Amino acid sequence: MSFLRSAASLLAAALALSACSAQAGTDSTPSAAGLVQTKGCSKDSLKTVTDGKLTIAVNEPAYAPWFIGDDPGNGEGYEAGLGYRIAQHLDLAPSDVTWVRQPFEKVVAPGAKNFDLALVEAQVTPQRQQAVDFSTPYYSVRQALITWNGSPIDGKTTLAELRTARLGAAAGTTSYEEINQHIRPTTAPTSYPSIGAAKDALAAHQIDGLVADLPTAQYLASSVLDDASVVGELPADADEKVGAVLPKGSALTQCVSAAVDQLRADGTLDTLAEQWLSSKKTVPQLS
């Protein structure tokens, strides 16, 4: 399923996002004069799925705060805004961006792809790097556990207290892997085809807790689920690095990495994070 918009609509969306950033006190849209084109990364020289277009894959659903309203084309949300800014650095207009849907497990699996890059909050791991390419990281995350109020794990503070809980996460994600690594539940965690399906299971009290990256967990608990809260953040040796996923050996990997590097250097990544991912709520550490 793809969300194709007219050039006028996409341009309006990009301008609206720029205006929103400007109102917040910082204009995160790079000016044409500030762009540094990497050799071989101009529109006419890019090797893309569709000539002259950039096809970006997202999850189904495309969840907030990474995307707002399950509509990548509106430019709202951290990765939606990032996608249009990467395109701009590749000499592409908003109307040149096409969004498609792809299950997470297929995004990080080996094989041919129907997209040029994917923005799916994918953490860079050695195992995944054997199957796909990653851009340089654009964000760092930790994993967190949320539950419904009054559940058997509501108010728990240690990993040992979570081991008998019914837990779940989206299939193929590091969220699922870290349940087994850190909590080590007595019952195998349930994997769901998407974060949306996992959220629905939590809302129906079919599981006691759901593990997701911290920004997603905070958003679900505060804005989507009526009776949920963040139990705490899972321990980690280091923050997990999130990067754009590209087909293995993609000719675009260097270009996308160069775009991300410049967006980091000019402060755009920080501005997007402040606008969409920041939270004033303190999350306890599970030990």
pLDDT score, position 69: 94
Distance CA 59, CA 241 (A): 18
Question: How many H-runs (helices) and E-runs (strands) does the chain carry?
Answer: 9, 13
Among 3.30.420.40, 3.40.605.10, 3.90.1150.10, 3.40.190.10, name the CATH number for the domain at 143-233: 3.40.190.10
Domain boundaries, the chain: 2-139+241-276, 143-233
Tell me what the mean pLDDT of segment 124-136 comes to: 97
Cα dist. 16→8, 78, 142, 176 in Å? 12, 14, 30, 36
Q: Answer yes or no: same fold for 2-139+241-276 and 143-233.
A: yes
pLDDT in tens, 269-279: 999 999 999 87
- The vertex-11 CA angle with 10 and 15, nearest 5°, equals 120
Under 8 Å CB-to-CB from 76, ≥6 apart: which residues? Answer: 13, 17, 20, 67, 68, 69
Q: Say which CATH class 2-139+241-276 falls into.
A: alpha beta
Q: What percent of the chain has pLDDT over 90?
A: 76
Q: What is the pTM (predicted TM-score) of this model?
A: 0.82
**Position 26 confidence tier, pLDDT thresholds 50, 70, 90:** very low
C-alpha 154/C-alpha 145 separation (Å) is 10
Residue 44 — very low, low, confident or very high, per pLDDT cuts 50/70/90?
Answer: confident
Are residues 3 and 60 in contact, defined by beta-carbon separation less than 8 angstroms?
Answer: no
